Amino acid sequence: MSDLDLSVEDEPRKLNQSGSLCPAVKAADMIGDKWTLLLMRELFMGANRYNAFQRALPRISPTVLSKRLKQMEEDGLIIKKTVAGEKATEYRLTKCGRELAPLINYMSKWGLRWARRRMNEEDLDVGTFMWDFHRSLNTAELPDGETVFSVTFPGLDAHSKWWLVANGDTVDLCTDDPGKEVDLYISGALPVLAEVWMGDCEVSAAVKAEDVILTGAGYLIRTVSQWFPKSRYADVRPRRFVGADGAQAPAE
């Protein structure tokens, strides 16, 4: 998938550019930009480093990402801190930024109810999906110690194999074989696994239909419904679907 045309979005933004005294308009001046909202979502999901933002939002260019983070810092939404003993920089939410949590949450639910599109190629970026997939693994339902998953997407020409290494609350996402013994192999088409993650299909039903193939530890297979990753909004059902041309259709 090609990057979006960011030429317009890359123009410098001036706070209070609307010239309105309305507080809602002033808020839109500050946070109404698409990338700002998505970066806020990632911060609430636990991302706090530049490379984590890049992995979660592969369509944002490095130039735009740097500018948005700088603008968010100037607006008081985040602060930038150097990690002690490292050269790395972390971005942390301020009180001002944290107060946006309910807004981001409600926008996500509203989007699923009223702006949901049916699965299509544009929605399915395997890297973005696996980033969401790995951080929503229910580690509390896994055995103690390390659990290694191999995820394969048959039919994909590139990035068809991934690995998850879970240990306690930590889950590492790997694009190269980590060289560890795999406890469970997961195989399924990207649209199918995406539908399960979104809550459109139960993983047990997908396994029964052999749309998702599980091979490995019996305990993990028997308890798949408990630990299998799901979106935090999987229980929110769409009220309608919106087509690429803007046409609307009620959800079945």
Q: Is the pLDDT of residue 97 over 90?
A: yes
For 231, other C-beta atoms within 10 Å of its C-beta total 17
Q: Which of 21-30, 60-69, 110-119, 164-173 has the lowest mean pLDDT?
A: 110-119
The predicted model gives 79-87 an average pLDDT of: 87
More confident residue, 52 or 6: 52
pLDDT at 86: 81
User: pLDDT tens, 1-23?
Assistant: 333 333 344 555 555 566 677 99
pLDDT at 242: 67
Residue by residue, DSSP assigns the chain as: -PPP--TTTTS---TTTT----HHHHHHHHH-SHHHHHHHHHHHTT--BHHHHHHH-TTS-HHHHHHHHHHHHHTTSEEEEEPTTSS-EEEEE-HHHHTTHHHHHHHHHHHHHHSBPPP-TTT--HHHHHHHHHHT--GGGSPSSEEEEEEE-TT-SSS-EEEEEEETTEEEEESS--S---SEEEEE-HHHHHHHHHTSS-HHHHHHTTSEEEEE-HHHHHTHHHHS---TTTTPPPSEEE-TTS-EEE--
Domains of the chain: 1-99 (1.10.10.10), 126-227 (3.30.1050.10)
Q: Name the pTM for this structure.
A: 0.81
Mean pLDDT of the chain: 88
User: pLDDT tens, 153-202?
Assistant: 998 989 999 999 999 999 999 999 999 999 999 999 999 999 999 999 99
pLDDT at 243: 61
Highest mean predicted confidence (pLDDT) among 56-70, 74-88, 235-249: 56-70
Q: Is the pLDDT of residue 230 over 60?
A: yes
pLDDT at 239: 85
